[in-house]
Amino acid sequence: MLAYAHDLNSFEQYLKETYPDEVPAKAAPVMIRSWLASMRESGIQARTVNRKISALKSFYKYLMREQVIELSPMTAILSPKVKKRLPQYVEKQDMDRLFQDDVFPQDFKGQTERVILQILYATGIRRSELLNLKEQHIDFSNQTIKVLGKGSKERLIPVSASLLALLREYRELKKQLNDAADREYLLVNEKGKRLHSGFIYNTVKRYLSTVTTIQRRSPHILRHTFATHLTGNGADLNAVKELLGHSSLAATQVYTHNHIEKLKEIHKKAHPKS
């Protein structure tokens, strides 16, 4: 409500300064466009401008309901396009460095952390999906894991022999903890209790901080990294969609934009006529 009131007050102030004889209720579309143009010229972002447009639309709808005006001037106003934010991801050489360097402690906690990072990067699953991953979901003979995604939808994800070997070792370490260690869910702490979401988040953030300077370093960044690296290496977009568990291809296509932007960057740096 405060933002809504602020937006209406700023519009009213603009009218007083630019069109002294006008009031918001009687403002014409040309006056509103003038206000919007002045904001864009001053460097205000499209998202903020769109919020102010939304406030005006609500204001004029209210005036129509109260029969103060017959037609909203906002019917002639178009919202500026907002540039889509491309998902952040970790560069391949940085992920390689994380796993090649011996950064994970050899105790049970350190090996749990290694498994967390390896699974998230190798499969692109969500943090909640990793938390709910059960030992019985790992099919060693077919080299797949079964993931329970959004809406209880199941999907099978192929995994490498090296990851399966790591998971075998981890299961053996679990058996050595104590008799009460959770045998249902894959990931547990040193006491054998099922992990909580915060542990996974903090683990990923801490280790990614050692290899990358990107602003966001959450588990979801590893999902973006998985998809970006796949599309960058020529993976079929429909296949990536299935691996991620997306319901529509549109949600997956954003990763092709990441690849295109990377190509533009390379071209700009390398081509003499760029």
Q: Are residues 114 and 15 in the same domain?
A: no
Q: Which residue range forms the structural domain that includes residue 51? A: 2-76
Q: Are residues 175 and 259 in the same domain?
A: yes
Distance CA 49, CA 79 (A): 8
Of 76, 100, 130, which marks where a domain is finished?
76
Q: Please, is 157 exposed, middle or buried when counting C-beta atoms within 10 Å of its C-beta (0-12, 13-18, 19+)?
A: buried
Q: Are residues 38 and 154 in the same domain?
A: no
Domain tally, the chain: 2
User: Catalytic residue among 220, 257, 259, 262, which?
Assistant: 220
User: Catalytic residue among 174, 223, 224, 229, which?
Assistant: 223
- Asked if residue 198 belongs to a domain, the reply is yes
- Asked if residue 84 belongs to a domain, the reply is no
Distance CA 100, CA 114 (A): 12
Instruction: Identify whether 97 is a catalytic site residue.
Output: no
User: Catalytic residue among 6, 16, 150, 196, which?
Assistant: 150
Confidence bin at 220 (pLDDT 50/70/90): very high
Of 52, 76, 100, which marks where a domain is finished?
76
Q: Quick: pLDDT tens for 106-140.
A: 999 999 999 999 999 999 999 999 999 999 999 99
pLDDT for position 202 = 97
Q: Are residues 118 and 57 in the same domain?
A: no
Q: DSSP character for 240?
A: H
Distance CA 234, CA 259 (A): 10
- Asked if residue 85 belongs to a domain, the reply is no
pLDDT for position 251 = 84
Q: Are residues 64 and 111 in the same domain?
A: no
Instruction: Identify whether 16 is a catalytic site residue.
Output: no
- Asked if residue 65 belongs to a domain, the reply is yes
Q: Residue 190, CB half-sphere, CA atoms under 13 Å: how many?
A: 5
- Asked if residue 83 belongs to a domain, the reply is no
Of 76, 107, 123, which marks where a domain is finished?
76
Q: Which of 233, 203, 198, 55 is nearest to 119 (CA)?
A: 203
User: Catalytic residue among 109, 134, 183, 246, which?
Assistant: 246
Q: Are residues 31 and 99 in the same domain?
A: no
pLDDT-above-70 percentage for the chain: 92
Q: Which two tokens stand for residue 169?
A: 């070792």
Distance CA 145, CA 220 (A): 19
In the β-sheet with 154-158, what is the strand arrangement from edge to edge? 138-139, 144-148, 154-158
CA 231 to chain CA mean position, Å: 16
User: Catalytic residue among 52, 114, 126, 127, which?
Assistant: 126
Strand pairing report for 138-139 and 154-158: unpaired
Say if residue 264's pLDDT is above 60: no
**What does each C-alpha distance from 21 to 10, 18, 27, 28, 37 come to in angstroms?**
16, 9, 10, 12, 20
Say if residue 268's pLDDT is above 90: no
Q: What are phi and psi of 144, to 5 degrees?
A: -140, 160
Q: Are residues 200 and 262 in the same domain?
A: yes
- Asked if residue 177 belongs to a domain, the reply is yes
Q: Are residues 142 and 33 in the same domain?
A: no
| Under 8 Å between Cβ of 127 and 197 | yes
Weakest mean pLDDT among 32-36, 68-72, 86-90, 92-96: 86-90
CATH number at residue 61: 1.10.150
Q: Are residues 152 and 199 in the same domain?
A: yes
Residues in the chain: 274
- Asked if residue 201 belongs to a domain, the reply is yes
pLDDT for position 254 = 81
Q: Quick: pLDDT tens for 82-102.
A: 666 778 899 999 999 999 877
Q: Are residues 265 and 211 in the same domain?
A: yes
Q: Are residues 66 and 167 in the same domain?
A: no
Instruction: Identify whether 150 is a catalytic site residue.
Output: yes
Say if residue 267's pLDDT is above 50: no
Instruction: Identify whether 220 is a catalytic site residue.
Output: yes
Distance CA 61, CA 92 (A): 51
Q: Are residues 135 and 205 in the same domain?
A: yes
- Asked if residue 97 belongs to a domain, the reply is yes
CA atoms 225, 227, 229, 231: torsion sign: negative
Instruction: Identify whether 267 is a catalytic site residue.
Output: no
Instruction: Identify whether 196 is a catalytic site residue.
Output: no
| Under 8 Å between Cβ of 131 and 148 | no
CATH number at residue 121: 1.10.443.10
CA 147 to chain CA mean position, Å: 19
